[in-house]
Amino acid sequence: MRLLKLGLWILLAVASALLLRSARLGHSGAALGLAAIAAGALLVLRASPLRRAAKGLREVARQLTDARPHELVPTRLHDHDHLDRRFFDVTTRELFELGFIHLGDLEDRTLTASMTLDRRFGKKLSVCLRAFRHESGAASAVIAQLGPAESAKHLLEFSSSWQDGRELLTNRVGRVGFDSPPYRRTQILPPSASTLELWQVHADALGDSQELDPEVVRIADLDAFIREYNNAIARAALFRAGRGGVRLEELERVAGPERRDVLEQVLNFMRIEGDTVAPEVSESGESSD
């Protein structure tokens, strides 16, 4: 039983750590997406504990290289009773004061489908996000929630991109150990940072680009936001696929020293089963985010 719990903890660690990155919903969807994918893998696993963990790890690796667009549909947040409405309302007011314009509320049904069944609600909890653009058009903001209100992970990130492919992300969460694409610059503030402090750091990095740079991708409306959302997910997936998929060093960093021995047990089981870790998992690494 202990091995079952530890094996599943590997996947939960992947899910929670990726979740805490809050990275790429809109320009900003990958971290929330990756966390939901990893958590959803637990639902479909069967058989022995090691086999279950192996299948989940294989599914995580597959999903990390999935470049297909996500299904985003308009929604009303008050129709989702698991959401922390206070978090959304307070953060929305703070963003309004900083010159952001509300573009709309969306459910990412691709992520919802990958979530585990919540026994208390008797269903998979929908993954919803609220999208904004700055009045200059040079930045977007996303607020989102994963999990029920009382234990939710609250996500906030500012993002900007350029025509040459560069990306700038600013959030208030920690590093998780997964490699970052070379075109992406991520600025990380402590969890205690306010919305204002987070925006000031992002705006300082933008500098004159916020108003003057013609190469900045301007977000004009919700359709443009959705295009950038899916473009960011596709670029990150193709980057990872192009370098051979998930790398062993990444998994070790995410699992952490306290769970690394369990990760090795699962990987050894996969090798015995004839699976070389997983089709998308390789053993050479790069610098981490």
| Beta strand pairing call for 117-118 and 100-108 | unpaired
Q: CA 116 to CA 118: how far, in whole Å?
A: 6
Q: CA 90 to CA 116: how far, in whole Å?
A: 28
Q: Which residues fall within 8 angstroms of residue 261, CB to CB, at 6 or more apart? A: none
Tokens of 59: 């599914």
pLDDT at residue 167, rounded to an integer: 92
Closest CA to 240 of 38, 34, 27, 25: 34
- Which pLDDT tens digits describe the chain residue by residue (289 residues)? 333 334 444 344 444 433 333 333 334 554 455 444 444 433 333 334 667 777 767 777 777 788 899 999 999 998 988 888 999 999 999 999 999 999 999 999 988 887 766 666 667 788 899 999 999 999 999 998 877 767 777 889 999 999 999 999 998 765 556 777 899 998 888 888 999 999 999 999 998 766 668 888 999 999 999 999 998 889 988 988 888 887 878 777 777 777 777 777 777 777 777 765 544 455 544 445 5
pLDDT at residue 116, rounded to an integer: 64
Amino acid 129 reads L
Q: Around Cβ 92, how many Cβ atoms within 10 Å?
A: 18
Q: Which helix (H) or strand (E) holds 271?
A: helix 260-272
Helices (H) and strands (E) counted in the chain, each on its own, are: 9, 13
Tokens of 222: 């919700």
Q: CA 283 to CA 265: how far, in whole Å?
A: 16
